[in-house]
Amino acid sequence: MQLIDGKIISEQIKAEIAKEVEEIVKKGGKKPHLAAILVGNDGASETYVAHKVKDCAQVGFTSTLLRFDNSISEEELINEIKKVNANPDIDGLIVQLPVPKHISDNKIIEAIDPAKDVDGFHPINVGRMVIGLPAYVSATPAGIIELLRRYKVPTAGKNCVVIGRSNIVGKPISNLLIQKADVGDATVTICHSRTENLKEVCSKADIIIAALGRAEFVTADMVKEGAVVIDVGITRVESQTTKSGFKLIGDVKFDEVAPKCSFITPVPGGVGPMTRVALLQNTLLASKKVIYK
């Protein structure tokens, strides 16, 4: 069994990005610039945005955090997005979701210029990704593909089961894995809460991507010998053994599943750090105008 270490790989990628930024600046170029919009003061959103700002600083990017009160209207927020769209100094824009209930997530996503949509949530980027055109791919699926690539996990012709069909994980990773690409060419089954015989479906998989958000749902009897298991799930539970008083649990019962696997990601330290670094990779692409010239 080989552990797929997202922490190590993400640090390597950050070092690669930092080096590239240094070279850009040395040649008189501009540092990549990410803007993040945060509405309200939800604790989890605050933490995610703080991580993103910190990650930018670590690789030498400029970041701008634009904070708005919960009471901002949809129209006002869209106007703020339009200002960032028009600002030539800003390469990438993310709006931390969820936004307050009186604002439509979809309208906000669609207001972002696709060329600055480094979260890869805009329908134009999603559509381009699906038909195999260059696009910003959302961070978690992009991070999973990068892990598979760097660990040279074979995917061509493999039977891959994705558990979960969300727009941010299940659907995009399924689409990426069926692309004609070096990490792709898989035969993909997408499962969800209405799937019958999930255990049987999983037990035939060469690769399982667990993205359902149910702690330790995938057990050893669902996994065949030699399978690759990518655990996307994160459930926060109370813990008396950690300083913070909580710990993160994946969708896979790691201790019993790991011995059966050829490769497996841990939680924490697997897909999570790769999600963070994928946003940096997209921002670098945006600053280099690689996808939208």
Contacts of 6 (CB under 8 A, 6+ apart): 143, 147, 265, 269, 270, 271, 272, 273, 274
Backbone phi and psi for residue 85, each to the nearest 5 degrees, phi listed first: -55, -40
Binding region for ligand NAP (CB under 6 A) out of 48-56, 106-114, 145-153, 211-219: 211-219
CB of 10 to ligand NAP, least distance (A): 11
**Nearest of 83, 87, 29 to residue 284 by alpha carbon:** 29
126 binds ligand NAP (CB under 6 A): no
Q: Which is nearer to ligand NAP, 82 or 192 (CB)?
A: 192
Q: Is 96 in the active site?
A: yes
Closest to ligand NAP by CB, 90 or 267: 267
By rule CB under 6 A, what string of x and - marks binding of each residue 224-263 to ligand NAP? Answer: --------xxxx----------------------------
Is 222 among the residues that bind ligand NAP (CB under 6 A)? Answer: no
Tell me the per-residue interface mask from 142 to 181 with ligand NAP, x by CB under 6 A, - otherwise. ---------------------xxxx-xxx-----------
Q: How far is the CB of 132 from ligand NAP (least distance, A)?
A: 23
Active site residue 52: yes
Least separation in angstroms between CB 251 and ligand NAP: 7
Shortest CB 106 distance to ligand NAP, Å: 15
- Tell me which of 52, 116, 171, 253 is the catalytic residue: 52
Residue 183, burial from CB neighbour count under 10 angstroms (0-12, 13-18, 19+): buried
Compute the distance between CA of residue 114 and CA of residue 72 in angstroms, rounded to an integer: 23
129 binds ligand NAP (CB under 6 A): no
Given 55, 91, 113, 119, which residue is catalytic?
119
Catalytic residue ranges: 52, 96, 119
